[in-house]
Structures are given as C-alpha cells and as structure tokens.
Structure 1
Amino acid sequence: MTTAPHAAAAALTLPPRSQRAGNAKTSPVRDLLALTERPKVISFAGGLPAPELFDVAGIRAAFDAVLDSPSVLQYSTSEGDARLREEVARRYSADGLPTAASDLIITTGSQQGLGLISTTLLDPGDTILVEEPCYLAALQTFALAGARVIGVPYDGDELDLEALDRLAAEHSPKFFYTVPTFQNPTGRTHGLDARRHIAAIAQRRGFRIIEDEPYRQLRYSGEALPSLAELAPAHVISLGSFSKVIAPGLRIGWIRTTPDIRPAVTIAKQAADLHTSTIDQAAAAHYLLSGRGEPALTRIREAYSARRDAMLDALPTVLPTGSTWNHPDGGMFVWARLPEGMDAAESLGRALAHDVAYVPGVSFYSGTPDRRTLRLSFTTYAPDRIREGLSRLGTTWGTGR
C-alpha cells in the first residue's frame, strides 16, 4: 500500500505520446457503433456489407477443405499465399491490367496496405495530396505517419484537376491518394477523361498515385473504367480488398506494387506482422477457385442496386428543401448536402433521438470542412428498412411522417 504514491509520482514523469499519435482523428463511424447497437436504431452510418448476403456455406466449405493440410496452421511467406496471389493477378490481367503474382503482396485488409505504403514512402513532414473530402481511415494513417496532408477540392462532382496540377507544382508531393471508383465517403467516380488527366499530371509533375479500389467490383450501372495503373503504370500503386465482395472479417487485402518499392514494402510487411493469416489466405484462395465467388457477387450487386435505388427514391421527400445529393453508379454511399445555414453534425443528436444515424461529413476533410454534408450508407438494410429509416431521418428535419 505504501508504494502507491511513489507509483503515481513515477507515472507523472513518463514521456508523453508521440505528436503523430496526437494528430490522428478519431473515427466517428467507430464512435457511433456503440450508439447504434441498440436494436431499434437504423444506422446509415457504417459502411457495412449486408451479413445476410455472406456466402457462409461456401466460406465454411473453403475453411474445411484447406484444413485437410496442416500447413495452413503454420507460418507463411510475407508476400502471401501463392495461389491467392496468382488468382488476384489473373483477375487484374483479365480486366486489362497485366499483372504477375510477384507484383502482389497480401495484406491484412487494404487498411494495412495504406500503413505499409506510408511506412515505405513517407518521412515525417513529407507532403501528400488527397481528395477533399477523403476516406477517414486514410487520413488517420497519414497523420500517424507524420505527413503534411493537403486536400484537392472538387468542383461539383468532378475533381478540380487544375487545382491538382497547381498544388502538385507548388508542394512536390510524395503521392496523391485517391479512391477513383465509388469513393468513400462521396460515392463519386473519376470519369475516363479525369483519369487520363490525373495520370498525365502525375507523370509530368513526378509524383506517385495511390489508387485505393475496395469498391471497384460493386458497379450497378454505367460502364467499367480503366485503372489508373493502366494509364500510368510506373507511377501507380494499387490497393484492393475482398472485404466488400466476400466478407470483411477475413481481413484479406493486397498491394499491387511497382518494382522500385516492392522490396521495401515486403520488409515493412515483415516488420508489421510477419504475414497475413495463413489459413484465411488459403481459404480465400480456395473459395475464389471453387467458382462460388462470382454467383455470390452477382447476388450482392443485385441486392445493393435495389437498396441504392430505394434510398435515392426516398431522399426527395426526406431531406430538407434545398438539399442536394449524388446518384452513384455503385459502391456503398450517397453523399448529401443540407441547405444553407444547416449543420449535419448538430442534427445528428436529433436523428439518434429518432433511432436513426448517419455520419456527418466534417471528419472526412483534411482542411476546412463543409458542415452541411453527410454520408449515408445504403448496403446494410433491405429496401423496406431503408425507407423506414429515411422516414425517421425526415422527422429529424420535420420532413418525414
């Protein structure tokens, strides 16, 4: 008992946490999860795949099959399961981007890929460019790396390419981070001309592009677009994931590297966790090669397309007069903007009181936020539940029943 005061005094003299840790924002999505776990709450906040669409039987069969070999319970190579890398490479090549298995490093979700790239490419104080608004977990990762983050604004639903060129010339960034297809949080997609211009600017100004593509396969309308890596192969590092098309709990993602950084990324992976779960990689490879993945993805696309349409059909009668929102061709999100004078963050408390939730847009900005914006996810619930949730949301602003 007599040592307690000494222990307390010692604690006061411990070194503080790093400045980089202090600069990282908390995730409002994670913070909201505890509030939205109440059974009555309809949450449009989390970007959660629909659990009833998981191919549980197929995934279970894949794990059962690979457990016939005890090697799936052993340590593995840092680069990842050979069959899995070969299958991911085959899919890239079939989509028009020639890729070898050796180009790929399997990661514990694409989120780890962001961390490994930051470790490999960034020193504290380095400048990077991001879309404004930007995927929040990317902003967290870059803050922890000590990067100076500068947002490239949008002009309506189109990236301001003149601003990208100007900011690149002014700041000599290490890279430009983009989610070019069905972006999180906005659902926006860079069109073909924009992609060509982004690639040309990177080549002319001499920076890399980090192309994050977790939603690419979730297209419900419109034509598929080429990867940025097709347009500027030496300048683009691509990230991918099975979280949205098989199940997020597998935590299987990958980095499509360029030869100049591949050895450094591999070392960063070794230092991070040695390798991604051997059994999960083996099960994912078996599942993909079993032929069950494509029919499951077709079911997912059909269901999400109907859910997107249900949300878009209801929004005109739900959001306050003068609001705007986009009409994404795929992905998981609709981005809305309330009328002049309104604040989406201030309205959230009233929404939660009506047992409905969304994510205010303020946390997705690296600079001055647009406080009128909010993100709505449409994938988690069936159409009837979406309509009910949006009706509750309308009550928040006096527009619902």
Structure 2
Amino acid sequence: MNDGSSFRIATALRDWVATAPPGTRLPSTRALVAQHQASPVTVQKALRELAARGLIESRPGVGTFVRAARTARTVDYGWQTAALRAPQSRIQMVPTALRSVPNDVIALHAGYPDRELLPERLVRSALTRAARGDTALSRPPVAGLPELQSWFAHELGASSPVGVAPPTPGDVVVLPGSQSGLSSIFRALVTGGRPLLMESPTYWGAIAAAAQAGVRVIPVPTGPDGPDPADLDRAFAETGARLFYAQPTYANPTGAQWSTERAEQVLGVVRAHGAFLVEDDWARDFGIGTTPRPIAAHDDAGHVLYLRSLTKSVSPSLRIAAVIARGPARERILADRGAESLYVSGLLQAAALDVVTQPAWQTHLRGVREQLRTRRDLLVTCLRHHAPQAHIEAVPAGGLNLWLRLPDGTDLQQLTRDCERAGVLVAPGTDWFPAEATGAFLRLNYAGPNPSAYAEGARVLGEALDRSTP
C-alpha cells in the first residue's frame, strides 16, 4: 500500500481515538489489516504517526492504548530573573535582515545574495574534496590553515603600494565568520565599559557585537562620502576612544565608498590619536562600478585591523573570514578566539580555500558583478517609477543594498507592516543606527531572489508610503 493508504488509516484511527476513553486498547495489528484491507507495514506506519502525535502509546507485550491526556501545568521561571539579574546589554531581537520568509513573499529585506549568485558548483566540488582530505579528521592550528592564511595575506598585500610592507601569513587569524571577529576585537581591544567609535548608520551586527561586549558605543555621523574627519577627530579627543569601526567600501547599509583622499584623512586622524581603525571589507567581492581600495594596504604600523569575509560571496554555509592584525593587537585577538572556540573547522577552511583558488572563481566573480549591476539598476528604475517618494541618496558602486530616505513624518512601523501584509518584506533603517535614527530610512537588497518581482515590490512600497506619509 502507498502513503495514501497510510494516511487514510491514520485519519480513521484518529477519529476513533477522539471518541475513545483514555486507556482504551486499540484493535490488534492483524485486526486492523483485515479491517482496512492494508498491509501490516502500512498499518504500522499509521500507528507510528499517531504515536508521534502523542495520541496513542505502545506497551510492549501488552498492546497499544489510547493515551491519557496530560494536564498542562504552568512552569514558573521567575527564579531565573532573580538569579540572572539585569543583562549586561540590551537584549536584541533577531533583526529583520535575518528573517526567513515563505517563497511567495517578495523579499527585499535580507543581507545575503540569492543562491543563483553563489558558486554552487565550485562549493559542492570543494566540499567533496575537503571531505576526502586530511582536514576532515585533523585539528587545524588556532590561527587557521597556513595555506588559507597565505591566501588572505596575499589578497590584501596585492594592493599595497611601493614602500609599504605587505602583511605576512603570520598576521592572519582565520575566523568562523566576520561576526565572530568583531566580537573578539571589541572584547580584546576595547574591553567592557570603554568607548568605541562607530559610523552611524552602520552594520547592525557590529552594533550587536559591541552591545554584547559591554562597550560604550559613540556614534560618528557618516554620509555618502564617509565620516567627516573633523567629527572623527573631535570624537577621539572628547571620549578618549582608541578604536573606530567603519566600512570604507560599499558600506552596509548606505553603499558609501570613501574616496582615496577621505581614506587618507581618516587614517591620519587614527594615527594622530594612537588608535585603531577596524576596516570591515565585507563586500570586497561585490564591486560593480569601482574597484575596492583597502585602507589596510596602506598601513604597516598596525593601526588598521582588516576584516575580510567569504561568507556572502562563497556561501552562507561556509562561514569563513579572517582578521589581519599586527603586533600585540593580533595576539590579543588570537587569545580571545582560542578561548571562544579553540579553532575554526578545518573542513570548512579547506573547502573555502579550494573555491577561491580555482580558476573559475574569478570568472564567477565577473559574472556576479554584471548580475548585480543589472539587478541594482532594475530596482532603482522600479523605485523611481512606482515609489518616487523614497529618495535614493546615492546609487552604490558596489555591495548588495540600496539605502532609501523616506519623507519626514513617515510612520516606519506602519509602513513595514503594510508592506508585509501585501507580501513584501522590507528592512526598516532603525536597525542600522547605534543611537537614535536621524530620519525614516529603508534598506532594500537588490541581490535577493526573484528580480522579476521588483516592480511589484516597488508598487506595494509606493502605495504604502502614500498611506503612511502625512
């Protein structure tokens, strides 16, 4: 008999159980086989389904019985409140950008590229080869596989100008994703209660990592060209901070890319204060109209801590990143990583290295950049036609996102609810501000699934804006 027969028997038995008193014995398997004209295997499958639902219970050597209903009791966890006391930082809910949604929803909220933009064939082949290699069974070094350290060092060193010493493999610490790196950097180099300067708006994950590390975030306003060096200088002087977190290339959420002049000015301010710049180069592989220019390539004195992630460009399941740091700062970060997780999976490291060293990797990246250009331009066109109220402050030259300024007075919560009810998920900009938001913003991802739905998504957004704007 097929699964349809099993379902039919399970439905009939469920109706019978619903009217039987608890403890009633079910007919034997032989009797059920005869009654329903089914095989013993099919009857047993139906019984297993009812048992899994908690409707019946089997007593070996006795029979199968209707299970007695259990009276639910309220469990009081109030004692934990007294034991745990107040949390060190504000407990944050999962941000909109990480929400999973059904396939029929127009998803403009996420921060990851669609599956069709990933090197699926390369990843699957790399995982197969890694599983057959020694890394599948051996413990890797705490700082990472030497071959992967060399690759990260070479990637950054290739951008170093003449006269600047490029990083060495020994400067690299491999991470299980850049989020772990941010947590380690903030814990190891800022420490609890000390000030940390941070662009505003900026990556929500950095805000969350700083909160969990117990550091005091000092927002530094930033715009399409990056932060004003004078504002940064004043923030260092007034707070005594010694670390500034920033995304100079295709910033999340704004898409901003600093000019060479702005990068030099910011690095000069950092050096003048004897401080560190955490350069989060999360979108290095997603350039569209420009080429990334890492600030770290121009610094060999240890002022720049360089974060490079492969999670978004290779695969979300291969959470591999690295921090390149020099001097005692690197040793403190490494010590924190060792205490946190001992080492990163050698299997994942080997697979990531395999992908990025294949000749087809660069071919894949060139294709992705063209697809991102097409998707970005399509979403921009749709928004300008269907939702002209949403102002695009700058069309990004790379990355995955558009940053929209909404009319003053827009009810952002009502807007996002209206869009979701209409089948469109958008990310409210409040998640990207370490302090109060300076206005009503949305972040839309043009690298998500189903670009053919961009026009409909923009139309829904435009209509929702008409209702939520005074």
TM-score normalised according to structure 2 size: 0.78
Deviations 1:238-279 (A, max 9, x none): 101111221121000011011222222221111111111110
**What value does the CA root-mean-square deviation take over the aligned residues?**
2.4
1:60 has 2:128 as partner: no
Pairs within 5 Å for 1:58-97: 58-96=122-160
Note if contact 1:347-1:396 (Cα within 8 Å) is conserved in structure 2: yes
**Residue 201 of structure 1, CA deviation:** 0.4
Residue equivalent to 2:53: none
Indicate which of 82, 85, 93 corresponds to 1:26.
Answer: 93
CA distance in 2, matches of 1:58, 1:154: 38
Deviations 1:168-205 (A, max 9, x none): 11111120000111111111111111101100001112
Residue equivalent to 1:363: 431
Q: Indicate the larger mover: 215-224 or 176-185.
A: 215-224
Q: Secondary structure at the match of 1:83?
A: helix
Task: Label 1:231 to 1:103 Cα distance change in 2 as closer, same or farther (>3 A).
Answer: closer
**Residue 50 of structure 1, CA deviation:** 1.4
Task: Label 1:324 to 1:308 Cα distance change in 2 as closer, same or farther (>3 A).
Answer: closer
Task: Label 1:178 to 1:24 Cα distance change in 2 as closer, same or farther (>3 A).
Answer: farther
1:247 has 2:315 as partner: yes
Pairs within 5 Å for 1:251-262: 251-262=319-330
**Residue 10 of structure 1, CA deviation:** 8.4
Indicate which of 30, 37, 40 corresponds to 2:104.
Answer: 40
Q: Any unmatched runs of 5+ in structure 1?
A: none
In structure 2, give the amino acid aligned to 1:23: R
CA distance in 2, matches of 1:226, 1:120: 23
1:293 has 2:357 as partner: no
CA distance in 1, matches of 2:241, 2:297: 18
**Residue 237 of structure 1, CA deviation:** 0.4
Percent identity among equivalent residues? 27
Deviations 1:91-128 (A, max 9, x none): 11222271211110100001111011112112211001
Task: Label 1:324 to 1:263 Cα distance change in 2 as closer, same or farther (>3 A).
Answer: closer
CA distance in 1, matches of 2:117, 2:78: 53
**Residue 84 of structure 1, CA deviation:** 1.1
Note if contact 1:319-1:338 (Cα within 8 Å) is conserved in structure 2: no
**Residue 217 of structure 1, CA deviation:** 2.2
CA distance in 2, matches of 1:106, 1:145: 20
Note if contact 2:159-2:293 (Cα within 8 Å) is conserved in structure 1: no
In structure 2, give the amino acid aligned to 1:49: P
* Higher RCO (CA-CA < 8 Å; seq separation 6+): 1
Q: Which entry has the higher C-alpha Rg, 1 or 2?
A: 2
CA distance in 2, matches of 1:367, 1:236: 25
CA distance in 2, matches of 1:30, 1:305: 21
Task: Label 1:27 to 1:185 Cα distance change in 2 as closer, same or farther (>3 A).
Answer: farther
Note if contact 1:180-1:190 (Cα within 8 Å) is conserved in structure 2: yes
Task: Label 1:279 to 1:325 Cα distance change in 2 as closer, same or farther (>3 A).
Answer: same
1:234 has 2:302 as partner: yes
Note if contact 2:191-2:215 (Cα within 8 Å) is conserved in structure 1: yes
CA distance in 2, matches of 1:155, 1:253: 27
**Residue 90 of structure 1, CA deviation:** 1.6
1:373 has 2:437 as partner: no
CA distance in 2, matches of 1:17, 1:80: 38
Pairs within 5 Å for 1:335-354: 335-354=403-422
CA distance in 1, matches of 2:247, 2:231: 17
CA distance in 2, matches of 1:13, 1:43: 37
Residue equivalent to 2:260: 192
Q: Indicate the larger mover: 348-357 or 223-232.
A: 223-232
**Residue 82 of structure 1, CA deviation:** 1.2
**Residue 303 of structure 1, CA deviation:** 0.8
**Residue 370 of structure 1, CA deviation:** 2.5
Task: Label 1:341 to 1:80 Cα distance change in 2 as closer, same or farther (>3 A).
Answer: same
CA distance in 2, matches of 1:160, 1:134: 15
Q: Secondary structure at the match of 1:248?
A: coil
Q: Secondary structure at the match of 2:287?
A: coil
Aligned residue pairs total: 392
CA distance in 1, matches of 2:169, 2:295: 18
Deviations 1:308-335 (A, max 9, x none): 1111122212324373432100001111
CA distance in 1, matches of 2:225, 2:331: 38
Q: Indicate the larger mover: 155-164 or 248-257.
A: 155-164
Residue equivalent to 1:212: 280
Note if contact 2:402-2:445 (Cα within 8 Å) is conserved in structure 1: yes
Q: Secondary structure at the match of 2:328?
A: coil
CA distance in 1, matches of 2:223, 2:320: 34
Q: Any unmatched runs of 5+ in structure 2?
A: 1-72
Q: Secondary structure at the match of 1:19?
A: coil
**Residue 53 of structure 1, CA deviation:** 2.5
In structure 2, give the amino acid aligned to 1:206: G
In structure 2, give the amino acid aligned to 1:25: Q
Residue equivalent to 2:67: none
Residue equivalent to 1:307: 375
Residue equivalent to 1:108: 176
**Residue 47 of structure 1, CA deviation:** 0.7
Note if contact 1:361-1:370 (Cα within 8 Å) is conserved in structure 2: no
CA distance in 2, matches of 1:378, 1:13: 42
Task: Label 1:99 to 1:375 Cα distance change in 2 as closer, same or farther (>3 A).
Answer: same
Q: Secondary structure at the match of 1:67?
A: helix
**Residue 17 of structure 1, CA deviation:** 4.8
Task: Label 1:56 to 1:167 Cα distance change in 2 as closer, same or farther (>3 A).
Answer: same
Note if contact 1:200-1:232 (Cα within 8 Å) is conserved in structure 2: no
Note if contact 1:345-1:371 (Cα within 8 Å) is conserved in structure 2: no
Note if contact 2:282-2:307 (Cα within 8 Å) is conserved in structure 1: yes
In structure 1, give the amino acid aligned to 2:108: F
Note if contact 1:79-1:275 (Cα within 8 Å) is conserved in structure 2: yes
Q: Indicate the larger mover: 59-68 or 262-271.
A: 59-68
